[in-house]
Amino acid sequence: MPTFHHDLRLGRFIPPLSFGPRTVALARRLPVRTPPAPDDVEISDVTAPGVSLRLHRPRSLRGTAPALLWSHGGGYLVGSPEQDEAGSVAFACELGITVAAIRYRLAPEHPAPAAVEDAHAALRWLADQPGVDPERIAIGGASAGGGLTAALAQCAHDRAAVRPAFQLLVYPMLDDRTVLRTDVDTRGVRVWTPRSNRYGWTSYLGREPGSADVPPYAAPARRSDLAGLPPAWIGVGTLDLFHDEDLAYADRLEAAGVPCERHVVPGAFHGFDALFADRPVARAFRAEQVRVLRAALFT
């Protein structure tokens, strides 16, 4: 049995539940509890051309400042900006920036490239906002949101309207071809299972994963030319189903001349930082994200 990080030993008892039509329908009906908004952060929902966002901005912020465009996780099937409210508020407060969380369209009702188009519309809108420095916009996300962030980095590079300064990829969902692998040790895999991965990719692609062709920007790892993309940070645990595809993408970014810092957490599974947010390993993982964002946006 794989060894779990000592802060995450209770993760051994997480049941191997997988997403399918019924579990997705149930998950979408569950209410999302958001923490009370702190007095020093203004939170608002806005509708931009083609997409809606949830904004988090310190009330003390004056003048032009950097921003973070954030994409939530959920396998492209479920989720909303509200699920990451605590993290968005923390980024806004700790860094002194605007955090805009995207409410992108979900699969299977809206397959690729719907989410990427939403993300690009959000990026262009954010860059035009007063108080946001368009030269200092980072993009980030976790799980499917991390994959969407990587896809947005590619899309923004190609369209050249707005160029993000940095991409923060938290255990990103990058490669549909992982579903074809039979050599992955899944005994320590938690939260996002191989079965969920197949259903998520099938729903998002609108076809069986691993096929010869996929929609534009749907699977970022499929892109052959990674040169010219923004500097990146990739964080993932050794027990995460995405571990191998994430590190392979980091290798390819570096080979293409793109600076990429990687942060690998031994014995950590998918979503560990959300399920065990109070544990030291999760706090350290979060602190690394704050550190790299500060370096990217303020130096």
Question: Model's pTM, two decimal places?
Answer: 0.96
Task: Indicate whether 273 pLDDT > 80.
Answer: yes
Long-range contacts of 79-88 (CB under 8 A, 24+ apart): 79/106, 79/144, 79/145, 80/32, 81/53, 81/54, 82/32, 82/34, 82/54, 83/32, 84/142, 85/34, 85/35, 85/43, 85/54, 85/56, 86/34, 86/35, 86/277, 87/286, 88/54, 88/56
Task: Indicate whether 1 pLDDT > 80.
Answer: no
Domain count, the chain: 1
**Average pLDDT for residues 228-242, to the nearest whole number?**
98
What's residue 285's pLDDT? 99
pLDDT digits 0-9 by tens, 172-214: 999 999 999 988 888 889 999 999 999 999 999 999 999 988 9
Mean pLDDT of the chain: 96
Give me the CATH number covering residue 62. Answer: 3.40.50.1820
Any catalytic annotation for residue 143?
yes
pLDDT digits 0-9 by tens, 122-150: 999 999 999 999 999 999 999 999 999 99
Residue 82 lies in a domain: yes
What's residue 185's pLDDT? 84
pLDDT digits 0-9 by tens, 5-36: 999 999 999 998 899 999 999 999 999 988 88
Q: Confidence class of residue 2 from pLDDT cuts 50, 70 and 90?
A: confident
**Average pLDDT for residues 92-102, to the nearest whole number?**
98
Evaluate whether 86 touches 93 at the Cβ level (below 8 Å).
no
- 84, 118, 240, 246: which is the annotated catalytic residue? 240
Residue 210 lies in a domain: yes
**Average pLDDT for residues 84-103, to the nearest whole number?**
98
Any catalytic annotation for residue 72?
no
What's residue 216's pLDDT? 86
Task: Indicate whether 89 pLDDT > 90.
Answer: yes
- 71, 175, 270, 273: which is the annotated catalytic residue? 270
Residue 83 carries which side chain, given as an amino acid letter? Answer: Q
E strands, the chain, where? Answer: 41-48, 51-58, 65-71, 98-103, 132-142, 166-170, 232-237, 260-265
What's residue 222's pLDDT? 97
Residue 248 lies in a domain: yes
- 71, 80, 88, 143: which is the annotated catalytic residue? 143
**Cβ neighbours for 67, distance < 8 A, ≥ 6 positions apart:** 97, 98, 99, 100, 126, 129, 132, 133, 136, 137, 138
Any catalytic annotation for residue 270?
yes
- Identify the domain containing residue 13 by its residue range: 6-298
Residue 1 lies in a domain: no
Location of structure tokens 């990103």: 172
What's residue 19's pLDDT? 93
What's residue 57's pLDDT? 97
What's residue 29's pLDDT? 94
